[in-house]
Amino acid sequence: MKFIKQLVTCAMHRQLSKLDGLYQRNSGQECYIFGNGVSLKWMDLRQFTDRTSILGNMFIYHNEVNALSIPYCTITEPYWFWPFFPCRVHGKFQLSRDIPHKEYRKSIIQNPDTLFFLNVSNYPFARFPNALYVSRWYEPPFETRNPFKDRSDAHHGTFRFQIALAIFLGFKKAYLLGHDYTHFPSKSIHFYEKGEGILNGNRNFSYEFINYAKQYIDMVTVTLDGSSETMKSITYRELTGKEPRFRENVEIIDRAKLESLAEWHGYSIF
């Protein structure tokens, strides 16, 4: 494994080290960090135009996304843009061809002013002028405010990567939207799936990582009517002065993108 790490970081150093140039770019600013949780179905994105946004995964598919200031979007799943995607279905490993990356490629091309963070494993199959490639094996050289050096788990999932990126970029405060695992009570399913979500009983999500992050960034999760056990919280109504209004996935995402997502195992789209 050590040899592979050295090989990857050496061969891709020119690409990976581009991350260094972003260090503290947004020092002292506030931002919105968007996940993919079902609570987003009740939110009007036009209420969040006043701060920089860091998007996660499929949030770029939302019909109102152009109302936001979106210099950053993260989709750091390894091998996601490959013709064959390694995954587990019902506990069994398989190579899947039915993946929604074709529509995602269109989103990257259609948003040339947004910087997309992709896992370096995708470099052979996903090269875009507005993409920056990242790896858990590359550690930027900075000694402070650098979760990518401090934490071996900074690349473990979208939530942690987004928080680590916000700290690395220098944001002093972040409002989390659609990161429903930080809510209490919390609900499952994504905003692009059908339905209003189901209570999942999740408690203290990423508790230790969140406590680490609090040293560097003030985090506030935006709920519909609940609170949080791990960080500050505010309701959508309190933050925006607007009442939450539910809209189904077919009302906020184009049909072609939903059909693409429906090809992926485990999603309930229609």
For 161-186, write each residue's pLDDT tens digit. Answer: 999 999 999 999 999 999 999 999 99
Per-residue pLDDT of 196-231, as tens digits, reads 999 998 899 999 999 999 999 999 999 999 999 999
CA dist list (Å): 192 to 85, 162, 254: 21, 20, 10
Predicted TM-score of the model (pTM): 0.94
Residue 270 lies in a domain: no
Q: Which residue has the tokens 């002013």?
A: 113
- Cα dihedral 173, 203, 211, 21 sign: negative
Handedness of CA 146, 147, 151, 152 (dihedral sign): negative
Average of per-residue pLDDT values in the chain: 93
Rounded to whole angstroms, the Cα distance separating 139 from 25 reads 17
| pLDDT > 90 fraction of the chain, expressed in percent and rounded | 84
SS3 147: helix
Determine, yes or no, domain membership for 133: yes
Domain assignment of residue 268, yes or no: no
State the pLDDT at residue 210.
98
Residue 98 has pLDDT above 60, yes or no: no
Burial class of residue 74, CB neighbours in 10 A (0-12, 13-18, 19+)? buried
101: enclosing H helix or E strand: helix 101-110
Does 80 map to a domain? yes
Phi-psi region of 175 (alpha: psi -120 to 50; beta: other; left: phi over 0): beta
- Choose the weakest-confidence range: 6-20, 78-92, 189-203: 78-92
The single-letter DSSP state of residue 17 is G
The structure tokens listed for 175 are 């409002």
Q: What's the confidence (pLDDT) of residue 20?
A: 98
Residue 267 within a domain: no
Angle at Cα 74 formed by Cα 171 and Cα 93, nearest 5°? Answer: 140
Under DSSP, the state recorded for 20 is G
- Could you tell me the two tokens for 86? 């390694």
**Structure tokens of 251?**
């009302």
- Asked if residue 18 is part of any domain, the answer here is yes
* pLDDT level of residue 1 (50, 70, 90 thresholds): low
> In terms of residue numbers, what domain contains 229?
2-262
35 falls in which pLDDT band (50, 70, 90)? very high
The domain spanning residue 86 has which CATH number?
3.90.1480
pLDDT tens profile 82-97:
887 666 666 676 666 6
Question: Which phi and psi (to 5°) does residue 221 adopt?
Answer: -90, 140
With respect to residue 81, please indicate whether it lies within any of the assigned structural domains. yes
- Longest Cα–Cα distance in the chain: 55
- As for how many domains the chain has, the answer is 1
pLDDT in tens, 233-255: 999 999 999 999 999 999 999 99
